[in-house]
Amino acid sequence: MAKVYDSIILGAGWSGAVAARELARAGRSVLVLEARDRVGGRASTWTNKRGDKIDIGCSWIHGYNEGNPTRGIAGELGVTSHLPKAAENVIYGPDGALPADKAASLRGQLGAAQAAFKTPFPAPAPSASLASALFGAGSPLLAADAELAAGLARTLEVPLGLKLEKASLRWAGWEGATNFSGSDAAPEGGYEALVVAVVKQAEDAGAQVRLDAPATEVKDAGDSVSVTAGGETYTARTVLSTIPLGTLKAAPKGLFSPPLPERYAATVAGTHVGVLEKLLLGYPSAWWPRAAEVGGYTFLPTRDAASLGPNATLREVFDASTIITANFAGPSLPNPAPILLSYLSETPARAALAHSEADVAAAFHEFLVDRLRADGAPQPSETALTTWLTDPLSRGATTTPSIVSDNGERSPLDFKELSRPLWDGRLGFAGEHTEIENRGSVAGAVISGQREAARVDRLLAKLDAQ
Ligand X SMILES: Cc1cc2nc3c(=O)[nH]c(=O)nc-3n(C[C@H](O)[C@H](O)[C@H](O)COP(=O)(O)OP(=O)(O)OC[C@H]3O[C@@H](n4cnc5c(N)ncnc54)[C@H](O)[C@@H]3O)c2cc1C
Does residue 428 sit in helix, strand or coil?
strand
Sign of the CA dihedral running 298, 300, 306, 307:
negative
Interhelix angle for 14-25 vs 191-204, to 10°? Answer: 20
Under rule CB under 6 A, how many of the chain's residues touch ligand X?
A: 39
- Single-letter amino acid code for the residue at 232: E
Asked whether the beta carbons of 11 and 243 are under 8 A apart, the reply is yes
Kindly state whether residue 400 participates in binding ligand X, applying the rule CB under 6 A: no
Smaller CB distance to ligand X: residue 191 or 287? 191
Which of 31, 202, 215, 363: binder of ligand X (CB under 6 A)? 215
Interactions with ligand X, residue window 42-71 (CB under 6 A)? 42-43, 57-60, 62
Instruction: Please compute, for residue 196, the number of CA atoms within 13 A of its CA located in the half-sphere on the CB side.
Output: 10
Smaller CB distance to ligand X: residue 168 or 398? 398
Q: In this chain, which stretch among 7-15, 20-28, 201-209, 456-464 interacts with ligand X, using CB under 6 A?
A: 7-15
Q: Least distance (Å) from ligand X to the CB of residue 268?
A: 14
Interactions with ligand X, residue window 8-37 (CB under 6 A)? 10-16, 33-36
Strand partners, 187: 81
Query: How far is C-alpha 288 from the geometric centre of its chain's CA atoms?
Result: 28
Q: Least distance (Å) from ligand X to the CB of residue 68?
A: 8
Smaller CB distance to ligand X: residue 34 or 346? 34
Smaller CB distance to ligand X: residue 134 or 227? 227
Which of 89, 109, 155, 247: binder of ligand X (CB under 6 A)? 247
Phi, psi (rounded to 5 degrees) for 33? -110, 115
Smaller CB distance to ligand X: residue 148 or 198? 198
State which H helix or E strand residue 326 sits in. Answer: strand 323-327
What is the x/- site pattern for ligand X, positions 444-463, by CB under 6 A? Answer: -x------------------
Asked whether the beta carbons of 388 and 182 are under 8 A apart, the reply is no
Q: In the 8-state DSSP scheme, what is residue 377? A: P
Phi, psi (rounded to 5 degrees) for 354? -90, 0
Q: In this chain, which stretch among 163-171, 238-246, 322-330, 357-365 interacts with ligand X, using CB under 6 A?
A: 238-246
**What is the b/e burial string over 55-72, where b = at least 16 CB atoms within 10 angstroms of the residue's CB?**
bbbbbbbbbbeeebbbbe
Residue from 351, 398, 397, 357 nearest 380 by CA: 357
Q: Least distance (Å) from ligand X to the CB of residue 43?
A: 5
Sign of the CA dihedral running 366, 372, 377, 382:
negative
In 3-state terms, the chain is what percent helix, strand and coil (to 5)? Answer: 35, 20, 45
Smaller CB distance to ligand X: residue 65 or 285? 65
Kindly state whether residue 106 participates in binding ligand X, applying the rule CB under 6 A: no
Kindly state whether residue 397 participates in binding ligand X, applying the rule CB under 6 A: yes
What is the x/- site pattern for ligand X, positions 407-446, by CB under 6 A? Answer: ------------------------xx-------xxxx-x-
Query: How far is C-alpha 59 from the geometric centre of its chain's CA atoms?
Result: 9
Which of 243, 294, 300, 344: binder of ligand X (CB under 6 A)? 243
Q: Least distance (Å) from ligand X to the CB of residue 250?
A: 10
Q: Least distance (Å) from ligand X to the CB of residue 422?
A: 17
Residues that bind ligand X (CB under 6 A): 10-16, 33-36, 41-43, 57-60, 62, 214-215, 242-244, 247, 276, 278, 388, 393-394, 397-398, 431-432, 440-443, 445
